[in-house]
């Protein structure tokens, strides 16, 4: 990611935040709050469905 301009780093930032939350992080520092909140909410929804399996 180091050679990408900051505007092109969102995908990596969202993936990093998603992995952190998946592994139990309660707080993540981000620059694009809206996109990160959407990603975390989607991840929480997926995780809730995973817990419902029989």
The reported pLDDT for the residue numbered 49 is 78
Per residue in 1-53, pLDDT (tens digit) is: 568 887 788 999 999 999 999 999 999 999 899 999 999 999 988 888 776 65
Give the per-residue pLDDT at 12. 92
Examine residue 38 and state whether it is found in any structural domain, yes or no: yes
What are the phi and psi torsion angles at 43 (to 5°)? -60, -40
Inter-residue long-range contacts of 45-54, CB under 8 Å, 24+ positions, other chains counted: 47/22
The answer to whether position 49 is within a domain reads: yes
Q: How many domains is the chain partitioned into structurally?
A: 1
**Which residues form the domain of 51?**
29-54
In a domain, 23, yes or no: no
Q: How far is CA 25 from CA 28, 40, 42, 47, in A?
A: 7, 11, 15, 14
State how far the Cα of 35 lies from the Cα of 14, in Å rounded to an integer.
Answer: 8
* Helix (H) / strand (E) containing 54: none
- Residue 4 counted as domain residue: no
Q: DSSP secondary-structure letter at 40?
A: H
């Amino acid at each position: 990611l180091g050679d990408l301009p900051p505007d092109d780093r969102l995908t990596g930032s969202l993936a990093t935040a998603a992995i952190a939350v998946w592994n139990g992080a309660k707080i993540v520092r981000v620059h694009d709050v809206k996109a990160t909140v959407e990603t975390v909410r989607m991840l929480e929804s997926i995780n809730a469905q995973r817990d419902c399996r029989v």
